C-alpha cells in the first residue's frame, strides 16, 4: 500500500467526496439520461486518475464542483 502524506490524503478524500456528490446529483437526472451522465462522471474521474500534480488536482476539484453546481441548478429548474 502506498503511503500518502497528509496533503495527499486530504486531496484524495476531497476527490472521493466530489465523486459521490456527482453521482448523487446524476441520480436526480431523468431516467433516459441518467446512465449516460453517470458514465460521463466515471469517465472524467478515470481520465484524471493518475494525476499526481496537487495543484492540478485542486483545480480539477474546483472545476468539478462548479460543473456539479451547474447541473444541480439545471435539474432544479427542470423540476427534477
Is the whole model's pTM more than 0.85, yes or no?
yes
Q: Which residues does 43 contact at the CB level (< 8 Å), separation at least 6?
A: none
Cα(11)–Cα(34) distance, integer angstroms: 27
Check residues 80 and 28 and name the one with the higher pLDDT: 28
pLDDT in tens, 12-65: 999 999 999 999 999 999 999 999 999 999 999 999 999 999 999 999 999 999
Amino acid at each position: 500500500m502506498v503511503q500518502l502524506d497528509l496533503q495527499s490524503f486530504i486531496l484524495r478524500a476531497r476527490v472521493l467526496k466530489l465523486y459521490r456528490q456527482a453521482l448523487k446529483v446524476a441520480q436526480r437526472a431523468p431516467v433516459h439520461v441518467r446512465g449516460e451522465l453517470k458514465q460521463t462522471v466515471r469517465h472524467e474521474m478515470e481520465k484524471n486518475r493518475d494525476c499526481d500534480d496537487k495543484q492540478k488536482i485542486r483545480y480539477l476539484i474546483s472545476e468539478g464542483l462548479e460543473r456539479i453546481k451547474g447541473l444541480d441548478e439545471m435539474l432544479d429548474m427542470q423540476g427534477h
